[in-house]
């Protein structure tokens, strides 16, 4: 990516932060909190997710068979099924149906699949008027704007903006101000349009192969009206929407509203088995049917392939087809919360899972436009009701984008410095440098303090921004000449003589070369708790290359880690990890990078540092051996995004509390730095915007100590508060 493209991307993001950011943030954070509250009321949330996942796995596995079954069922019911190869094929069919119905007007309820095929444009070109009847979609149709969210398409618009739009378009007799006035006005206008429509078009959240039933999960009644008022009903759905039976709908109905908008159940859950024979109602007198004689509606189900069947054959993109489009991955994503789907999205889909959809449907070029906005923080994994590993899909697509890439004109500058394994790929120079951060860190440490002086000098800052896109407003953390491994090797023996347990403290790249003090504190604290600690030289975990989509390099690192730690695991040692993102590698990502015999023992015996301290205290070690609080010392703590996904935040809070500290935790999903993301000039403003939410909470806590577990969070909070937080272990350090 050139300097100009980076500047253009930064400018676009800034514009969206200014114009849409506030509305997007308020709404998505509200939905996200609603999700937390709603799923907490479920007795067995994880069980329901497992159930939903199993149904989707089975349905996609048996898709050809279910497709045949559904076709047969719908035809028996009196409807027609058309499987469209692509958007053009689907649009031709729909246009023919409209022509047969002599349709002048189609009313349409919300459907992302119909957005995907751009059916409105096609029908307009055939002189058919298409009216969106979902309030948000109608607002966007009037404003000629694209959706910014897959469930709440006009999430970026304020109430005042909508009032001005209605004013301009309709010049109403009375001014429209409140949400209720606006909604009632829209309801009236849309009612008139539905009443005179010839064809009703809907999507389908789920289709059951056994009965031909379609489930529509909506917050407004317009979808029902679009189905029951016109004589012809066209439903447009991706082939992946088929599930085997009506019974299978239960977990999805339980999960979809809770996951998306935080509602225990959405306002309307409609199960239709079309063609529908319910009578048409009079809008002014809903209790009196106005249909004369026998009801004879036509029903056409248009099932869209458009790349989906190829995705089913792709081992990495296949999981995308499990998606039920609930939007939880958008709402929980810190970057999405700030900038919304107009930046974090492609032709149709937005949010974390959009990379999978857009790569499968539109191709890699479209996915490449926004794929980098996924930082791999993993908060979406926990939120997803069908447990899709969304960050992995993003990583694979990034890797494929790298493979088709062109490193750029400055690539030669780093060839010798980037011993990566990307033989078939050509990541951008920026990605290669950040992906090879371990090499830079080694060099920086070996040449410190000269390296630090250089990194902080203006000309070097300018050069780094110009060539690598490292934002000049960021400062690299200082490299330390004496690494943690060297310190541990050279220090006088203070190990417990009769240790309860033996651990390897994993010297991650950041702790070993830069944040050495937290490593020293960890060694002292563990030893004080009766544990023998070894700090051997072990390669970096591969997290930096993985975050840049450099999978081969990450795999090579993983193999190096497994080889170095294997003798310790054989001896029964535990592996203790300070950096949460590295622990996430050991216990999660390595499953995809290593053979099971290497992955499993490492994953089973690796622990986050404070989780390990918690276990020691639970098993009888005394907190008094650590540094405990003076009377009422307060702590503001931000755990790491991946640490939260691994459910390891509570351990730190518990240990600090046991040691006498009064702890307040932040509830932001991610600090916004996310490894190298916040260093990239095109994303600096977004990163800081995300971080400001966290900074506000930390300032408000007004605590004696600000603590953070991850390196990225430490850097980000340091920049935001102009004072670097410490790792919790530094507060517990017996030498403090
Ligand atoms: S990937 Fe999961 S969380 Fe995201 S929209 Fe799909 S089902 Fe919902």
CA 499 vs. chain centroid, Å, equals 43
In the sheet that holds 705-708, the strands lie side by side as 662-665, 634-638, 705-708
Q: Residue 372 falls within a domain, yes or no?
A: no
Give the mutation target among 352, 354, 387 for probing the ligand 1 site: most ligand atoms within 8 A of CB: 352
* Cα separation, 549 vs 556, whole angstroms: 13
Closest CA to 476 of 457, 459, 499, 494: 457
Chain segment 43-95, per-residue pLDDT in tens: 999 999 999 999 999 999 999 999 999 999 999 999 999 999 999 999 999 99
- pLDDT > 90 fraction of the chain, expressed in percent and rounded: 82
- DSSP percent split of the chain into helix, strand, coil, nearest 5: 55, 10, 35
Q: Cβ contacts of residue 679 below 8 Å, gap of 6+?
A: 434, 470, 471, 474, 673
What's the gap in Å between 326 CA and the centre of ligand 1? 5
Statement: residue 602 has pLDDT above 90: yes
Last residue of a domain, one of 290, 309, 328: 309
Average pLDDT, the chain: 92
> Cα of 624 to ligand 1 centre, how many Å?
46
Residue 405 confidence (pLDDT): 60
Q: Which residues line ligand 1 (CB under 6 A)?
A: 259, 323-329, 353, 380, 383-386, 388, 390
Distance 312 CA to ligand 1 centre (A): 17
Measure Cα distances from 120 to 15, 108, 308, 508 in Å.
Answer: 28, 9, 22, 53
Expressed in angstroms, the distance from the first to the final Cα of the chain is 46
Global pTM?
A: 0.93
318 found inside a domain: no
Per residue in 98-129, pLDDT (tens digit) is 999 999 999 999 999 999 999 999 999 999 99
For residues 183-198, average pLDDT: 91
417 inside domain: no
As a whole number, mean pLDDT of residues 210-228 equals 92
User: Is the pLDDT at 410 greater than 50, yes or no?
Assistant: no
**C-beta separation of 507 from 543 below 8 A:** no
361 falls within a domain: no
- Distance (Å) from CA 374 to ligand 1 centroid: 14
Residue 329 CA to ligand 1 center (angstroms) comes to 5
Q: Give the ligand 1 atom nearest the CA of 352.
A: 4
Is residue 422 in a domain?
no
Per-residue pLDDT tens for 650-699?
999 999 999 999 999 998 989 999 888 999 999 999 999 999 999 999 99
Closest-CA residue, ligand 1 atom 3, reads 384
Pocket test for ligand 1, best of 260, 322, 326 (most atoms within 8 A of CB): 326
CA 238 to chain CA mean position, Å = 22
Residue 587 in domain: yes
CA 444/CA 454 separation, integer angstroms: 10
706 φ/ψ angles, rounded to the nearest 5 degrees: -110, 125
For 444, residues 6+ apart whose C-beta sits below 8 A from its C-beta are: 451, 452, 455, 476, 479, 513
Of the listed ranges 200-204, 296-300, 687-691, the least confidently predicted one is 296-300
- List, for residues 379-399, the tens digit of each pLDDT value: 999 999 999 999 999 999 999
Report, as an integer, the average pLDDT of 299-316.
Answer: 97
- Where a domain ends, among 279, 294, 309? 309
Residues with Cβ within 8 Å of 27's Cβ and at least 6 positions away in sequence, in order, are 149, 152, 155
State pLDDT tens for residues 322-376: 999 999 999 999 999 999 999 999 999 999 999 999 999 999 999 999 999 999 9
Q: At 613, which helix (H) or strand (E)?
A: helix 609-618
pLDDT score for 406: 52
Cα maximum dimension of the chain: 97
Note the pLDDT of residue 423: 63
For residue 351, tell me if it sits in a domain: no
Listed residues 309, 338, 363: the one ending a domain: 309
Domain range for 215 is 3-309
pLDDT for 412 equals 45
523-540 pLDDT per residue, tens: 999 999 999 999 999 999
Classify residue 607: in a domain, yes or no: yes
Q: What is the pLDDT of residues 440-490, one digit of tens each?
A: 999 999 999 999 998 888 888 888 888 888 999 998 889 999 999 999 999
CB 694 within 8 A of CB 716: yes
Count of positions (residues) in the chain:
736
pLDDT tens figures, 12-44: 999 999 999 999 999 999 999 999 999 999 999
CATH of the domain at 20: 3.40.50.10420
pLDDT per residue over 425-434, tens digit each? 678 888 888 9
Q: Residue 408: is its pLDDT beyond 50? A: no
Instruction: Name which residue sits closest to atom 6 of ligand 1, judged by CA.
Output: 323
Q: How many structural domains is the chain composed of?
A: 2
Q: How many CB atoms lie within 10 A of CB 442?
A: 16
Query: What integer pLDDT is reported at residue 611 of this predicted model?
Result: 98
Strands (E), 51-196: 80-84, 105-108, 129-132
């Amino acid at each position: 990516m050139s300097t100009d493209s980076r500047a253009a991307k930064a400018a676009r993001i800034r514009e969206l932060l200014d114009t849409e950011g506030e509305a997007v943030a308020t709404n998505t954070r509200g939905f996200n909190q609603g999700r937390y509250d709603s799923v907490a009321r479920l007795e067995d949330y994880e069980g329901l997710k497992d159930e939903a996942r199993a149904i989707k796995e089975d349905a996609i596995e048996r898709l050809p068979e279910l497709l045949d079954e559904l076709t047969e069922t719908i035809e028996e019911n009196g409807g027609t099924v058309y499987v469209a190869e692509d958007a053009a094929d689907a649009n031709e069919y729909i246009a023919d149906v409209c022509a047969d119905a002599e349709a002048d007007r189609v009313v349409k309820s919300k459907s992302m699949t119909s957005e995907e095929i751009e059916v409105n444009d096609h029908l307009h070109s055939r002189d058919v008027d298409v009216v969106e009847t979902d309030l948000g979609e109608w607002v966007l149709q009037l404003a000629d704007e694209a959706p910014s969210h897959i469930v709440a398409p006009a999430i970026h618009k304020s109430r005042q903006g909508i009032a001005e739009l209605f004013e301009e378009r309709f010049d109403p007799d009375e001014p429209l101000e409140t949400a209720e006035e606006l909604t009632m006005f829209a309801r009236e206008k849309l009612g008139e349009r539905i009443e005179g429509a010839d064809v009703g078009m809907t999507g389908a959240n789920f289709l059951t192969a056994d009965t031909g039933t379609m489930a529509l999960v909506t917050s407004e009644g317009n979808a029902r009206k679009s189905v029951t008022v016109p004589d012809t009903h066209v439903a447009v759905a991706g082939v992946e929407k088929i599930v085997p039976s009506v019974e299978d709908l239960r977990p999805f109905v339980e999960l979809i509203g809770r996951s998306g908008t935080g509602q225990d159940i959405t306002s309307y859950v409609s199960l239709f088995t079309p063609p529908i024979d319910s009578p048409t109602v009079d809008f002014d007198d809903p209790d009196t049917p106005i249909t004369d004689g026998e009801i004879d509606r036509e029903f056409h189900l248009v099932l869209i392939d458009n790349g989906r069947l190829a995705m089913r054959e792709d081992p990495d993109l296949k999981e995308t087809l499990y998606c039920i489009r609930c939007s939880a991955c958008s709402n929980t994503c810190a970057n999405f919360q700030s900038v919304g789907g107009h930046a974090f999205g492609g032709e149709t889909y937005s949010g974390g899972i959009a990379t999978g959809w857009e790569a499968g449907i539109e191709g890699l070029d479209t996915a490449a436009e926004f794929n980098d906005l996924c930082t791999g923080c993993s908060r979406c994994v926990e939120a997803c009701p069908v447990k899709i590993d969304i960050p992995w899909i993003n990583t694979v697509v990034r890797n494929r984008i790298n493979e088709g890439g062109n490193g750029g004109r400055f690539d030669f500058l780093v060839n010798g410095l980037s011993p990566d394994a990307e033989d078939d790929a050509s990541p951008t120079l920026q990605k290669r440098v950040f992906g090879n951060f371990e090499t830079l860190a080694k060099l920086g440490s070996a040449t410190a303090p000269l390296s630090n002086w250089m990194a902080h000098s203006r000309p070097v800052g300018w050069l780094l921004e110009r060539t690598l896109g490292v934002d000049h407003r960021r400062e690299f953390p200082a490299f330390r000449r004496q690494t943690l491994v060297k310190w541990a090797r050279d220090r006088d023996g203070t190990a417990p003589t009769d240790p309860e347990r033996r651990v390897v403290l994993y010297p991650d790249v950041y702790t070993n070369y830069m944040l050495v003090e937290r490593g020293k504190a960890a060694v002292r604290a563990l030893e004080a708790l009766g544990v023998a600690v070894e700090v051997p030289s072990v390669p970096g975990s591969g997290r930096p290359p993985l975050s840049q989509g450099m999978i081969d390099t990450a795999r090579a690192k993983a193999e190096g880690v497994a080889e170095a730690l294997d003798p310790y695991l054989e001896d029964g040692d535990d592996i203790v990890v300070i950096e949460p993102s590295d622990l996430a590698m050991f216990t999660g990502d390595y499953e995809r990078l290593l053979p099971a015999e290497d992955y499993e023992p490492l994953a089973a015996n690796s622990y986050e540092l404070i989780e390990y301290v918690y276990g020691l205290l639970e098993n009888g070690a005394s907190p008094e051996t650590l540094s405990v609080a003076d009377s009422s010392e307060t702590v503001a703590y931000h755990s790491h995004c991946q640490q939260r996904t691994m459910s390891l935040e509570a351990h730190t809070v518990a240990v600090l509390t046991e040691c006498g500290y009064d702890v307040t935790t932040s509830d932001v999903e991610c600090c916004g730095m996310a490894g190298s993301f916040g260093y990239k000039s095109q994303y600096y403003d977004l990163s800081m915007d995300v971080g400001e939410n966290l900074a506000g909470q930390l300032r408000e806590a007004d605590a004696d100590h600000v603590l953070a577990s991850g390196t990225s969070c430490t850097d980000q909070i340091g920049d935001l508060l102009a004072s670097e937080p410490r790792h919790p272990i530094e507060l517990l350090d017996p030498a403090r």
